[in-house]
Amino acid sequence: MAWPYCAFVGFFLLGAVVSTAATDAEVDQRVEALLSRMTLDEKIGQMSQSDRLMTPFSDEVRQLIRQGRWGSLFNAGNPAERAEAQRIARTETRLGIPILFGRDVIHGYRTIFPIPLGQAATWDPDIVEQAGRTAAREASAEGIRWTFAPMIDIARDPRWGRIAESPGEDPYLASIFAAAMVRGFQGTSLADPSAIAACAKHFAGYGAAEAGRDYNSTWIAEILLRDVYLRPFHAAVDAGVASFMTSFNALNGVPSSGNEFLLRRILRDEWKFPGLVVSDYQSITEMTLHGYAADARDAAREAANAGVDMEMVSTAYFDHLKSLVSSGAVAGKTIDDAVRHILRLKFLLGLFDAPIPAAQTVTVTPESLAVAQKAATESVVLLKNDQNLLPLSDTVGSLAVIGPMADAPVDQLGTWTIDWRTEDVRTPLAELRQMLGNGRVLYAPGLKTSRDSSHDGFAAARDAADRADAAVLFLGEEQILSGEARSRAFLNLPGAQEELVEEVAKAGKPVVAVIMAGRPLTFHDTAARAGAILYAWHPGTMGGPAIADLLFGRAVPSGRLPVTFPRAVGQVPIYYAHLNTGRPASASELGIPMGTPAKPTGYTSKYIDVDVTPEYPFGYGLSYTNFTYENLRLSAPSVAMGGSLTISADIANRGRREGTEVVQLYIHDVVASVAQPVRLLKGFRRVALKPGEMRTVSFAIRTEDLAFYNQQMKLVTEPGRFEVWIAPDAEHGIKGEFVVK
């Protein structure tokens, strides 16, 4: 595929300025001119990334920069230190090669947006792109021009803590958001000073770690790898992503940082990716612990030959590449190709040409907060709303605000937040007090943290509920319970939160549960006691205003689940796009009570102690109004190979409030040479409808959209019968059929 090199502000051949925009050839010419002047030591320096600016900016560090020791610095220093380090690199090194500063700008920089799993719950690529653009502007203003995001691993196991960083379980939805995040970070031109280079990670299969344990092995058949786990990465390449990061895991026994199949055959040869590949943190030297490399020297050889251009933090490249080249174990061309990728990105970013940035500190702005609030509002999913308990009336006399997550600024931000400030964060408690007045808000946290098992605060919480007209419980996981190295064997609300809900419910008042978490949790008993449930993920800086607006109807929920919620952890992994099996459970076998084995009946694929269906299906989410789906129709009963057809339905708002419905299109290939999932998402639309309004929603499907990888690893569409649904989620909808000829 053609690589979309962006317009470049100027063309320099090591000095002379040309006013015309640089072409691909001109960028390559600059790279080759510089590469021809570099020593092997300087090349290896470019292939090395360090975290040394995370420690004091010492004279030793300054001297190492002058020597060209590092091509990139990781999560490095403050703006003043980065500016000084760049000044040294640009003016005091032999060739003046700038440093590429990278940082974990995962879901915001100073302004924090919902965690990526929450952003996926918006089903709104436009707001996700806006969030990435805002983060890029803030980070680039402080000298950061490379982010280690988006993380686009397909995740179907909520025990894995890094599901919080993922766009969820579905390759189509993840691909849409992968492209949106890349566009947001990189803008229309990498040369724009407000752009930062995106990094698609973790390549590949990391989200399928055994038993949900972080860093663990993955075993993925090639058909599944290509049809599911690689699709978002391919979408990122199509969107022009500047870099890739390898993953910690071994894929089918081969660590990703030494995996030629992934990095050369697929990424370079098949996808023609021309950008930079960086290892994950010390993942090259960790190949010795995998048992794949004998020592650091062996690991450096494996990684370089597999196609890793830059080593993150560990020093196997710096310590051993020179001798490996001398011995012929690593070819000089391999080194040159790696350095070409690094230099090309630096030229595309304009790092050689732009003025050395002055140190400055960014702050949140009304514009950034508005984007954060919109993203948070759209991310919240209404899971239950018995008897239209929500929205609460503005005339409610008093409101009990209870729970450890009601006023926990750091915890509502979620994982991977480095540059936030406490004063920027608006919690639900603070916003409700501002909205209702202090006298109408009765606050009792009940628990000190989400993990607190003490009942010492229960009496005050019960008293608040007794005196209030309604109670809102803010529950979930605190920040440190999700993210990297935060795998959980149990998915229940931690600590004594379930007992707190039980105690508050005894007051007999209406109970609303707001759950803030980095993953799907199991909360069956809480769901039974609460009249309404809002799942708010970790919503970021503006989570408080977003939640308050939703509670009181100033906004209407429109979030939808990007991942299936299990009834119990024993169902994991559970996802909607499963195969039917030869013995699927029948409708008569559903409704098994949870926990106590029922009398076994039938030899089908089910459990005997919990319903086989999820607690909440993929794509699910309620509103404060009611939508109907009617009159499914197809533009033709069949379509010729290479053609397309249109599938339409009438969506109507039958309630009394304006709302936004996320209309979803699912397909099932009924008979194929490789058994296909019972449903596959192939499209979606966010549709805003006023009360009484009806709109026809149409999806165009091309036969190539129906393609899958066959047993020969060829991407094919096969003729035959297809089922199609236009639906509100992955379990419901109105159904039709068509034939591909």
In the chain the domains, ranked by start, together with CATH numbers, are 11-40+106-342 (3.20.20.300), 41-103 (no CATH), 371-551 (3.40.50.1700), 627-740 (2.60.40.10)
Beta bridge partners of 696: 650
DSSP 212: G
* Contact (Cβ atoms closer than 8 angstroms) between residue 349 and residue 144: no
List the structure tokens of 72: 């990139």
* Contact (Cβ atoms closer than 8 angstroms) between residue 68 and residue 45: yes
List the structure tokens of 119: 């952003």
Length of the chain: 741
* pLDDT value of residue 8: 28
DSSP 226: I
* Contact (Cβ atoms closer than 8 angstroms) between residue 194 and residue 140: yes
Q: How far apart are the first and last CA of the chain?
A: 29
548/429 Cα distance (integer angstroms):
9
Q: What residue type is assigned to position 737 of the chain? A: E
Q: What residue type is assigned to position 248 of the chain? A: F
Task: Residue 257: count other Cβ atoms within 10 Å of its Cβ.
Answer: 35
Element (H, E) at 512: strand 511-516
Whose tokens are 């603070």? That residue is 430
690/685 Cα distance (integer angstroms):
16
* Contact (Cβ atoms closer than 8 angstroms) between residue 590 and residue 698: no
Q: Which of 589, 539, 597 is nearest to 568 (CA)?
A: 597
Q: Which of 90, 148, 138, 108 is nearest to 280 (CA)?
A: 148
Three-state SS for 112? strand
281/147 Cα distance (integer angstroms):
14
In terms of DSSP H, where are the helices of 226-307?
Answer: 231-238, 260, 287-290, 296-306
Residue 278 φ/ψ region, left for φ over 0, alpha for ψ in the -120 to 50 degree band, beta for the rest:
beta
List the structure tokens of 277: 């590949």
Q: What residue type is assigned to position 533 of the chain? A: I
pTM: 0.95
Active site residues: 280
List the structure tokens of 643: 């053609």
For 344, 386, 469, the CA distances from 527, given in Å and listed in that order, are 53, 11, 20
* pLDDT value of residue 588: 86
What are the 10-residue block averages of pLDDT along the chain, 741 residues in total? 32 30 82 98 98 85 95 90 94 97 97 98 98 98 97 98 98 98 97 97 98 98 98 98 98 98 98 98 98 98 98 98 98 98 97 86 96 98 98 95 98 96 97 97 98 98 98 98 98 98 98 98 97 98 98 98 98 97 92 87 92 97 98 98 98 98 98 98 98 98 98 98 98 98 96
478/370 Cα distance (integer angstroms):
25
Whose tokens are 């001798």? That residue is 323
DSSP string across 395-451? T-S-EEEESTTTT-HHHHH-SS--S--GGG---HHHHHHHHH-GGGEEEE-SSSSTT
Q: Which of 545, 620, 624, 612 is nearest to 584 (CA)?
A: 612
Element (H, E) at 137: helix 125-141
In terms of DSSP H, where are the helices of 165-295?
Answer: 171-186, 222-224, 231-238, 260, 287-290
* Contact (Cβ atoms closer than 8 angstroms) between residue 108 and residue 372: yes
Distance of CA 59 to the CA centre of its chain: 39
460/448 Cα distance (integer angstroms):
13
Q: How many Cα atoms within 13 Å fall on the side-chain side of residue 155?
A: 32
Three-state SS for 485? coil
Task: Residue 30: count other Cβ atoms within 10 Å of its Cβ.
Answer: 21
Q: How many Cα atoms within 13 Å fall on the side-chain side of residue 28?
A: 8
Beta bridge partners of 666: 681, 725
* Contact (Cβ atoms closer than 8 angstroms) between residue 514 and residue 401: no
* pLDDT value of residue 172: 98
* pLDDT value of residue 226: 98
Beta bridge partners of 699: 647
